[in-house]
């Protein structure tokens, strides 16, 4: 957290005068000390252990979002019969609450699908088309989010 704050402070300030660098370092240490005292850092609130594994996942998810955008565009410009609203229930296989939330949010990020409810391991999803629902039911996204947690 200290390095993230220091990088952010340097990015925003752009000053490299020794006095300002010293004051920035002191302020960062105070913020980190207060956050530690508040017990604000834990495995669930700050999932830093997932950070390095996020890059390949985000690249894959970006591709899925582009494909979903194209599908939604086809539904909008195509015949009305192309739209087939579907509600499905999925079982999340992630071990942690953070993993389940990443999975549910990833579903919502893809156009044409919305996570309506996450309760326990059950996720209720509304999909614009049956094809979008089927792509979620094949389990690829669930598997990739589970790999983030390993």
The region of weakest confidence among 45-59, 107-121, 135-149 is 45-59
Extents of the domains making up the chain? 2-37, 49-149
- Rounded CA separation 89/116 (Å): 10
Q: What angle do CA 141, 133, 52 make, to 5 degrees?
A: 15
Q: Collapsing DSSP states into helix, strand and coil, what is residue 94? A: coil
The answer to whether residue 82 scores a pLDDT higher than 60 is yes
Residue 111 structure tokens: 């156009």
pTM > 0.95 = no
- Rounded CA separation 117/20 (Å): 48
In what helix (H) or strand (E) does residue 117 lie, and over which residues does it extend? strand 113-119
Place 53 in a pLDDT band, splitting at 50, 70 and 90.
confident
Q: What angle do CA 111, 104, 128 make, to 5 degrees?
A: 30
Which residue from 147, 141, 103, 139 is spatially nearest to 121, judged by alpha carbons? 103
The pLDDT > 70 percentage for the chain reads 92
């Amino acid at each position: 957290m200290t390095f993230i704050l220091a990088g952010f402070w340097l990015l925003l300030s752009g000053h490299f005068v020794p006095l300002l660098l010293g004051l920035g370092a002191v302020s960062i240490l105070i913020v980190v000390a207060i956050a530690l005292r508040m017990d604000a850092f834990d495995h669930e609130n700050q999932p830093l252990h997932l950070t390095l594994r996020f890059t390949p996942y985000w690249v894959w998810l970006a591709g899925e979002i582009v494909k979903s955008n194209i599908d939604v565009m086809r539904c909008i410009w195509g015949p009305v019969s192309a739209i087939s609203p579907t509600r499905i229930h999925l079982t999340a296989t992630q071990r942690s609450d953070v993993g389940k939330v990443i999975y549910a949010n990833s579903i919502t990020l893809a156009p044409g699908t919305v996570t309506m409810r996450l309760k326990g391991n059950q996720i209720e999803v509304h999909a614009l088309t049956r094809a979008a629902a089927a792509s979620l039911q094949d389990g690829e996204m669930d598997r990739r989010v589970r790999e983030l947690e390993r």
